[in-house]
Amino acid sequence: MAFDFGLRQIGVAVGNCLLFTTQPLMVLRAREGQPQWDSVAGLLGEWRPDLLLVGEPLNMDGSSSDMAERAGRFARRLHGRFGLPIEMVDERLTSFAVKQEQRELGHRGDYHRQPVDSLAAELILQGWMAARQQD
């Protein structure tokens, strides 16, 4: 299960490493990066993931950012609450790529009404899976 961390919204996607399939799930509402943890618990109970991926929004030069620090805190809270292994995944440009793809498909770009965070989480997951396939 992958999370695209944000202060107001956290995108969620799931995948199957054996079948190399992914799908966006939903967007969790958050307040200052804190989701309703009961909603997260419900997702984890339903999907029973073996690993949680959290997108790490590094700066373009690879250095850490304030958002990367916050995403790391979110990942530590996930691990602390649910005890599942966590892996941080470089997510530079995933939201940008999803928005660009949506524009190319003719979508208007009202990302408040139709957030792309779950699609960005799916890209994070797909990138992670692709890297594991090459190993």
Instruction: Please check whether residue 3 is in contact with residue 10, taking contact to mean a CB–CB distance below 8 angstroms.
Output: yes
> What strands, in cross-sheet order, belong to the sheet with 52-56?
34-35, 21-31, 9-16, 2-4, 52-56, 86-90
Paired with 34 in beta bridges are 31
> Is 118 inside a domain boundary?
yes
What separation in angstroms does the CA of 80 have from each of 8, 27, 49, 83? 21, 22, 16, 6
Residue-wise pLDDT tens digits, 1-43: 999 999 999 999 999 999 999 999 999 999 999 999 999 999 9
Q: Is residue 54 part of a domain?
A: yes
The per-residue pLDDT for range 48-85, each reduced to its tens digit, is: 999 999 999 888 888 888 999 999 999 999 999 999 99
Q: Is residue 135 part of a domain?
A: no
Which domain CATH number covers 122? 3.30.420.140
